[in-house]
């Protein structure tokens, strides 16, 4: 058997450690020379076989990495201290930070593992353990956090490949109907003397999410004149590139409800009768109470009404009005019209009957 050639000087080495070890083969590299002229060496990993160790050294030769021993926990702490800093948080919301923190807790089994040694299978096993227990959107946030950590690691030459992008998520669950029916919409209009109903009717005729609706102020309200006609719209949105800071026209039929809230002179447009802002939690409380008081069924086997159903209703009403494609997607804050149709646009039995009667 031919003798293996010796590696060039200062090109790193592979050697076996004494004693019984699970990973006895060490890979060591030369980091440089210190001020006293002594070589500074660094272990980049331990492996079960010599072949594995030689492969790791060969990969390092092609893609040298900095700080190969950094753990996932250490990497997250570095990334989060920068991401959550007072300067950075101007570009991300508090709810997004809380989503990142919640996703990180699911990574606990990997906290002490070297980040460079992690692979898709490590993250996939965590995702698989939550299938059927958590919503698709929650697991998607987990994948987003993992990708952000990889972006940070690649930027700092700790790894050279994003294994999070290969995570497979379960298919998104889509309820049979998350929008209000024609009858339920009419019930709201019939009871538009109620404070909460006025708020619901405004939100039902705009394509914002709950967090944006509740954060709108008088400073987000703009007025323009088109062909001599006064047109009012809000400018808002913060979730995606397509949805950020977009104009949202205010339909004529809800102007009276908007005028009512403006007369309250609250810190936000949608506010309590005394002008104090709603929190998402308090809004949900009064939202559900109002549905119950009006005898609108909000939770059945195939249907669940939450405040987000108001945005679903908006997309469905646009579709009925003949607004299609990019225009509808833009009003809903989406970049992909197919996503708007698939997730937010609902066909009730009345729509199906009307379609059938056209035959």
Would the pLDDT of 258 be above 60?
A: yes
CATH superfamily of 182-357: Intergrase catalytic core (1.10.443.10)
**pLDDT band of 19, cuts 50, 70, 90:** confident
pLDDT at 109 over 60: yes
Instruction: Summarize the confidence of residues 148-154 as an average pLDDT.
Output: 92
Please identify which residue in the block is written with the tokens 């919301």. 93
Q: Is the pTM of this model over 0.75?
A: no
Q: Answer whether residue 313 shows pLDDT above 80.
A: yes
When mean pLDDT is compared across 55-59, 154-158, 212-216, the lowest value belongs to 55-59
* Alpha helices (H) in the chain, listed in sequence order: 50-62, 72-83, 94-105, 120-130, 136-155, 182-190, 195-204, 210-215, 255-264, 280-293, 309-320, 325-332, 337-339, 349-357
Average pLDDT over residues 207-213: 84
Strand ranges of the sheet holding 39-47, from the earlier edge strand across to the other edge:
13-16, 25-33, 39-47
Q: In the prediction, which pLDDT does 320 show?
A: 77
pLDDT at residue 62, rounded to an integer: 58
**Averaged pLDDT for residues 289-313:** 86
Confidence check: pLDDT of 163 > 90: yes
Q: Is the pLDDT of residue 231 over 50?
A: yes
What kind of architecture, by CATH, is found in domain 72-166? Orthogonal Bundle (1.10)
Report pLDDT for 183: 92
Q: Looking at per-residue confidence, does 310 or 339 come out higher?
A: 310
- For residues 72-100, give the mean pLDDT: 81
Residues 323-346 have pLDDT tens digits of: 766 666 666 665 555 655 555 555
Question: Taking residues 171-196, what's their average pLDDT?
Answer: 83
Instruction: Delimit the domains of the chain by residue range.
Output: 13-62, 72-166, 182-357
pLDDT over 90, % of the chain: 33
Residue 93: per-residue pLDDT: 75
pLDDT at 20: 86
How is residue 206 annotated by DSSP? S
Q: Which residues contact 104 (CB under 8 A, 6 or more apart)?
A: 76, 80, 145
pLDDT of residue 274: 94
């Amino acid at each position: 058997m031919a003798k293996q050639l010796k590696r060039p000087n200062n090109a790193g080495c592979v050697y076996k450690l004494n004693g019984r070890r699970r990973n006895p083969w060490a890979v060591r590299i030369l980091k440089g020379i210190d001020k006293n002229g002594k070589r500074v060496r660094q272990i980049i990993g331990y492996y079960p076989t010599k072949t594995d160790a030689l492969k790791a050294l060969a990969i390092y030769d092609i893609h040298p990495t900095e700080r190969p021993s950094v753990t996932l926990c250490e990497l997250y702490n570095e990334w989060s201290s920068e991401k959550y800093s007072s300067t950075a948080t101007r570009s991300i919301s508090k709810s997004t930070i809380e989503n990142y923190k919640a996703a990180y807790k699911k990574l606990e089994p990997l906290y002490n593992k070297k980040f460079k040694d992690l692979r898709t299978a490590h993250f996939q096993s965590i995702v698989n353990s939550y299938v059927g227990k958590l919503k698709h959107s929650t697991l998607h946030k987990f994948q987003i956090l993992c990708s952000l950590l990889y972006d940070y690691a690649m930027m700092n030459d700790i790894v050279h490949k994003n294994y999070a992008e290969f995570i497979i998520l379960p298919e998104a669950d889509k309820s049979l109907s998350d929008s209000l029916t024609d009858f339920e919409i009419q019930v709201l209009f019939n009871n538009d003397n109620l404070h909460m109903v006025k708020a619901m009717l405004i939100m039902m005729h705009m394509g914002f999410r709950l967090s944006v609706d509740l954060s709108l102020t008088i400073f987000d309200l703009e007025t323009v004149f088109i062909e001599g006609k006064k047109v009012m719209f809000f400018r808002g949105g913060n979730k995606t590139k397509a949805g950020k800071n977009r104009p949202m026209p205010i339909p004529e039929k809800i102007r009276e409800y908007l005028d009512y809230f403006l007369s309250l002179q609250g810190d936000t447009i949608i506010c309590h009768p005394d002008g104090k802002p709603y929190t998402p939690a308090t809004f949900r409380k009064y939202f559900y109470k109002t549905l119950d008081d009006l005898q609108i069924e909000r939770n059945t086997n195939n249907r669940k009404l939450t405040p987000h159903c108001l945005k679903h209703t908006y997309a469905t009403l646009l579709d009925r009005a003949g607004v299609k494609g990019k225009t509808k997607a833009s009003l809903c804050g989406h970049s992909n019209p197919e996503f708007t149709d698939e997730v937010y646009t609902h066909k009730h039995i009345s729509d199906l009957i009307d379609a059938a009667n056209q035959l």
